[in-house]
A and B are shown apart, each in its own frame.
Chain A
């Protein structure tokens, strides 16, 4: 039963949807909706990052930069340019993907750690601009974000954001699952295993890497916009190095190359600090320790390791 649900594309999507729908039954307070929404939004970015890292095999240590671009698009658009929030979101999404496409062309020629440092540098540059262009971004203190209006509805409150982000996440997961099983997905996996072998077999390596990079940037931008809307306030740290690392960690912990694993990783890393706040000063110690232990004992990530133990296949 369980492996049937994890095995098929529709199965994993349905089990995720059922889980999201049923989870609120166990919520003791509204606060849990808020955490839920933040998990779904982070998971959306991680699903995108997973396409790049887990399937195309390219590391990005600067993905929070794209998140930041999406977040500031919906903050500056309505505030400074008078563009409606929803239009700002879409414009931000397209702009971020355009930037990713332009930046990706030279950057993706680099391999391994050189690619890591180049993406890290990109994220750093975005953070610098967001921190220093005070007139547009409010500087290090950040700026307020207007509410999102959808078809005359104003989306506000933890409950509403829980359901909104859940729907967007499910759409994102559905899109990713379809992409993975398409010729593009197979090409990505081929170049993950060996770029040379993929090229020999006629895969246009440069083009597919760029495609994965651009799409994953789009996911991050959308997640950034949603996070900005639901929090109502943004700061440049959302584009910073530590946030990039957090996204990568979510992707790796959950299991690279597993779309549902991305959701698991995001859930764990967003929920953990909430549980750990009761530990006060020991929060960082336990967080660091958890990251190390999971990677030492489940190097494939949580979901694929567990699935492997029971002989399931996980997508």
Chain B
């Protein structure tokens, strides 16, 4: 039993990170129909920039927000310089552009930072709690609480603010949103900024546990994308549930079956789910217009 609790804790911790990445995918996809494979690079920028600022003597409480701002700037630049000029390109062409962006950002990180693994100290010490016989790192609590807070804030933003509703309107029907006077280009830029911020937050939160390096983004983007698809593309709740499910399955299969095949089990579950529910757990099939 304590063992199972342990798997659950670590599963929810990585799952929370996948959920944040998946949420980033969802926000950009909803606003602009682009699947942004550079999403993992935002996580990398969050972690790496925080570390280098911290190493340069900036206190952690200031370094982390600065890193998030850096990621937001990159996110907006990505939209302005690479996505907007390619308007009207096919879905696959857009995928290649974002993959190109991800390779580009990784290359820049390699030069601007370095190729080493880095970590900065956990926010509130390393002494683990003991819960139901399992140990829980204080940083894991930060990760889960941070992800939960981000989700609640985001939800409030979309429900309660004009800008949030304008993004939702852009996602729903771009032409109609334009007709009621919404600056849809700005809303799409805003969605890139939001999703970059979410990714960077994930990077800041997880680095003390899993370390970071210039190339952590690829695998995170892969898992986040898979999680978003499991939940149903375009559904924020689905992204969160998908992320947590992938994380928990991964840790349980690592503990109970084999750590070598932990990623395999997650993907088998995703495949089987999609065979049964071709639009993911929460996705609704759209009626195709001919």
Contacts and interface: CB of A to CB of B under 8 A. Distances in A.
Do the two shown chains form a genuine complex with each other?
Answer: yes
Interface of A: 53, 59, 106-107, 109-114, 116-118, 120-122, 124-125, 128-129, 131-132, 194, 196-197, 241-242, 245, 248-249, 252-253, 256, 281-292, 295-296, 299
Nearest to A117: B229
Give the top 10 A-B pairs by smallest Cβ distance, nearest first.
A288-B104, A284-B107, A291-B100, A288-B103, A285-B107, A121-B267, A292-B100, A299-B89, A117-B229, A128-B264
Interface stretch (B50-58, B137-145, B194-202, B268-276): B268-276
Given A117-B229, A284-B104, A287-B107, A128 B92 contact: no
Contacts, number: 132
Contact of B105 (A242, A252, A288, A291): A288
Interface of A is mostly: helix
Contacts of A129: 264
Given A121-B226, A299-B86, A196 B92 contact: no
A313 to B, nearest CB: 19
Interface residues of B, number: 48
B100 A124 contact: no
B86 A295 contact: yes
A125 B222 CA distance: 13
Contacts of A286: 107
A53 B90 CA distance: 12
B96 A253 contact: yes
Given A113-B35, A113-B233, A281-B110, A120 B226 contact: yes
B278 A111 contact: yes
Contacts of B261: 128, 132
Contacts of B35: 113, 116
Interface string B238-261: 000000000000000000001011
Contacts of A241: 218, 222
B229 A114 contact: yes
A289 B263 contact: no
Contacts of B222: 120, 124, 241
Interface of B is mostly: helix
Given A117-B225, A292-B97, A299-B88, A109 B278 contact: yes
Nearest to A194: B290
A138 to B, nearest CB: 15
A299 B100 CA distance: 14
Contacts of B105: 288
Given A117-B270, A125-B264, A284-B106, A289 B229 contact: no
Interface in B81-101: 82, 85-86, 88-97, 99-101
A110 B100 contact: no
B102 interface: yes
Given A132-B261, A292-B97, A299-B86, A118 B271 contact: yes
A284 B96 CA distance: 15
A288 to B, nearest CB: 3
25 contacts: A106-B275, A107-B271, A110-B274, A113-B229, A114-B274, A117-B229, A118-B271, A120-B222, A120-B225, A120-B226, A121-B267, A124-B264, A124-B267, A125-B264, A128-B261, A194-B290, A196-B290, A241-B218, A287-B107, A288-B105, A289-B104, A292-B82, A292-B104, A295-B86, A296-B86
Contacts of A256: 92
Nearest to B105: A288
Given A248-B96, A288-B100, A291-B96, 13 more contacts: A110-B278, A114-B233, A116-B35, A120-B225, A121-B267, A128-B261, A281-B111, A284-B104, A284-B107, A287-B104, A288-B102, A289-B104, A292-B97
B279 interface: yes
A114 B107 contact: no
Interface string B273-285: 0110011100000
B82 A296 contact: yes
A128 B267 CA distance: 11
Contacts of B103: 284, 287-288, 291
B73 interface: no
Given A111-B278, A114-B279, A288-B101, A295 B107 contact: no
